[in-house]
Structure 1
Amino acid sequence: MGRKYNKKKVFLVGIILGIILILLFTSLGKIFNKNDDEKSNSNIEKVNQEIVKPVERKSITISFAGDVTMGNYKGSPYYGTFDNEFQNRGGDFGYFFENVKDVFANDDLSVVNLEGPLTTAQNAKVKKFAFKGDPSYVNILKSGNIEAVTLANNHSEDYFEEGMKDTKFILDENDIKYFGLGEKAIVETNGIKVGLLGYNGWSENYTKENLDNMKRDIESLKKEADMVAVYFHWGVEKSYSPNQTQKDFAYNAIDYGSDLVIGSHPHVLQGIEEYNGKYIAYSLGNFCFGGNKNPSDKDSMIYQQTFNFEDNKLVSIDIPNVIPCSISSTKSRNDYKPTVLHGSEGERVLNKIKSISEGLNK
């Protein structure tokens, strides 16, 4: 009887242990399955988040204007000059850009060609027109909402290295970026880094060495900036058509990666060309130009371009917005006060630009 009782007891204990083991493995399985499900759901959620991550879209508008020469040329008769006008206006720095400053205030970046040093240096190059302006004239740029200037032109070095050193110092002091003549600039606006390069584009500069250097400059700057614009000083004075050297430089710049090409020097307007989805404005003409008391052609423009980005990658470029201007607020002389043109005069300048551009876009 005792042995029978023990067998039953062992049997019952075995059944109980089996049930316990079954329950234990079932619970562990649920735990592992739950963890696997949680991991799986977490991975799915992560993938979904990556799929639906919103694209960050931004647009910036950059304004460019032409030759800004603040001051006189050496030996110039004083009456009617830029300095004389400044004196007559009671030393008001805000006078000169008063009629265009709102345009520059409402864009993301404003750039002009600073043609002539801001210096007190006395030793000038021997040439017909050696320009300079007082360093305090930097306040004209500031009051006009100008954030960057190109130094690449045929007058920046009129007062040699001393003039250049003074100019760069006063621009740095006032947080105005400069580029050209070996300098590059990166300006960040609305979270977009804009790279700026400037070159003199004369026929004698069109060499393989200079093209290779420009290619390296553009490609290098593209690694640091989200877009690049190149401002050339080139062409023939008073010619309304770009020459072949201008075209060759412009096409190469865009082929190398520039997203826009701007030009100045002819003192008159030249056409706008679209090339491989990018734009070339060959000459913006004079703007606030102290080099001539009464030029016969006072037409000018502010060239605006809007660039569109997705996650800081340039995806599209709007068609140019051309704002017609005169270099003077009066027709009878140059009062060095660039002014936006409206009505029939504005239409006349826009039609003029359209006409001289037509032959470039065939």
Structure 2
Amino acid sequence: MNWARCFVALAATLLVVACDPARTSPAGAPTGSASPAPPSQPTEITLAFAGDVHFTDRTADLLGDPATAFGSISSTLSAADLAMINLETAVTTRGTPEPKQFHFRAPASAYDAVKAAGIDVVSIANNHALDYGRTGLADTVDAAKAAGMPAVGAGADAAAAYRPWITEIRGTKIAVLGFSQISELWSEWRATDNRAGIAMARDLPRAVEAVRAARRQASVVVVYVHWGAEGDACPAAEARAFAGEMAEAGATIVVGTHAHLLLGDGWLGNTFVQYGLGNFLWWRDDAYSNDTGVLRVTLENTAISKTELLPATISRRTGRPELASGEDVARIHREYADLRACTGLAASPVP
């Protein structure tokens, strides 16, 4: 045996082991063991909510170029992991007007505009989705499917209307439902087991079970409700009662529209409630208010870590929402904070 050669080989092996980082172990750990993995960091998810949208009168022309219909506010919506609005119109060219004062409808390109703005899901549970009857509603639902735009809160029957849309964002499942609490024509428009229509908050047992079922499928549940009284900056007792039912059933976030102006927000236990986001992309210079905004909710994994309203105003010329600037930012923030006083909501979560 050549002892000199063996000694050189052994020395070389020891040198490789000593200098190879993959073989270097922490103090006290066996040679070759892996270093402890760093603790996992919370997964941040941002949700954006805005108010009522339709394409009529001054906003109808915006569909001439759906890609730019929402204007600069699109960047705010697109920046969120999930963005949602209330599409307050029948998307149809057919049907017969229902017996009511206002009727709104838009062509299928409305969905192209919504998608181009970075919106991921719309609620069609409102008091205009059936403006042109069940023919118009069927077209509205079919156009959403053709455009690949999830639409919640209405459908061919109650099972479809109360069914959540469920998505997964970085491992977190989020369920979204839509309901209407508007009294006008509600019994005629409500979805039943064998009739198309809207998911109605007044059908309380079905609404509660829909949220409970969604909670069994997802760790975050969003409930978007069309409710309240036009022009009233304080939530109606009926809305407050329904928010309580939704919180009890497992909703993480309850957000609403309809009053044509901003309403307050806050906490109902561990459920965040926003009672009114006002108009957003709107057909007329509203007598109630042109103040609006985007509600941004930040989740860390499944828990809400931050909520904020990004103030905006509706352009009197185009009907588009635009992020507020200058004195309007401070004014809207100040007025918005004052709105909590009549909501009965807490400023922070209550265990």
Normalised to the residue count of structure 1, the TM-score between the two structures is 0.74
Looking at CA atoms only, which structure, 1 or 2, has the larger radius of gyration?
Answer: 1
Matched, 1:178 2:151: yes
Shift of 1:209: 7.9
**Amino acid in structure 2 at the alignment position of 1:228:** V
Residue pairs, 1:1-362, within 5 angstroms: 55=40, 57-72=42-57, 81-83=58-60, 85-86=61-62, 91-181=64-154, 182=161, 183-202=163-182, 210-290=203-283, 292-309=284-301, 314=302, 316-328=303-315, 333-360=316-343, 361=345
Structure with the higher fraction of residues in helix conformation: 1
Q: Secondary structure at the match of 2:72?
A: coil
Number of aligned residue pairs: give it: 292
**Amino acid in structure 2 at the alignment position of 1:248:** A
**Amino acid in structure 2 at the alignment position of 1:272:** D
Residues 222, 296 of structure 1: CA spacing in aligned structure 2 closer, same or farther, 3 A cutoff?
closer
Contact 1:295/1:334 (8 A) holds in 2? no
Structure 2 CA distance, aligned partners of 1:346 and 1:321?
13
Moved more, 165-174 or 154-163: 165-174
**Amino acid in structure 1 at the alignment position of 2:276:** S
Contact 2:181/2:201 (8 A) holds in 1? no
Extract unaligned runs of 5+ from structure 2: 1-29, 155-160, 188-199, 347-351
Contact 2:55/2:110 (8 A) holds in 1? yes
Shift of 1:56: 6.5
Q: Secondary structure at the match of 1:57?
A: coil
Query: 1:318-357: per-residue Cα shift (whole Å, max 9, x none)?
Result: 23111001122xxxx3512110002211111111110111
Residues 211, 137 of structure 1: CA spacing in aligned structure 2 closer, same or farther, 3 A cutoff?
closer
Match of 1:15 in 2: none
Shift of 1:143: 1.5
Moved more, 188-197 or 278-287: 188-197
Q: Secondary structure at the match of 1:229?
A: strand
Shift of 1:154: 0.5
Shift of 1:191: 2.9
Structure 1 CA distance, aligned partners of 2:134 and 2:322?
34
Structure 1 CA distance, aligned partners of 2:206 and 2:305?
29
Structure 1 CA distance, aligned partners of 2:273 and 2:74?
24
Structure 2 CA distance, aligned partners of 1:294 and 1:52?
57
Structure 1 CA distance, aligned partners of 2:237 and 2:202?
19
Structure 2 CA distance, aligned partners of 1:295 and 1:97?
22
Match of 1:27 in 2: none
Residues 122, 209 of structure 1: CA spacing in aligned structure 2 closer, same or farther, 3 A cutoff?
closer
Extract unaligned runs of 5+ from structure 1: 1-44, 73-80
Residues 153, 337 of structure 1: CA spacing in aligned structure 2 closer, same or farther, 3 A cutoff?
same
Shift of 1:247: 0.6
Shift of 1:52: 7.1
Q: Secondary structure at the match of 1:213?
A: helix
Structure 2 CA distance, aligned partners of 1:86 and 1:220?
39
Structure 2 CA distance, aligned partners of 1:256 and 1:234?
18
Structure 2 CA distance, aligned partners of 1:326 and 1:96?
16
**Amino acid in structure 2 at the alignment position of 1:195:** A
Q: Secondary structure at the match of 1:126?
A: coil
Contact 1:108/1:190 (8 A) holds in 2? no
**Amino acid in structure 2 at the alignment position of 1:191:** G
Shift of 1:359: 3.8
Contact 1:278/1:317 (8 A) holds in 2? no
**Amino acid in structure 2 at the alignment position of 1:190:** R
Query: Structure 1 vs Structure 2: percent identity of aligned residues?
Result: 26
Shift of 1:86: 3.2
**Amino acid in structure 2 at the alignment position of 1:234:** W
Structure 1 CA distance, aligned partners of 2:212 and 2:236?
26
Structure 2 CA distance, aligned partners of 1:301 and 1:265?
14
Q: For the aligned residues, what is the CA RMSD?
A: 2.6
Structure 1 CA distance, aligned partners of 2:142 and 2:111?
11
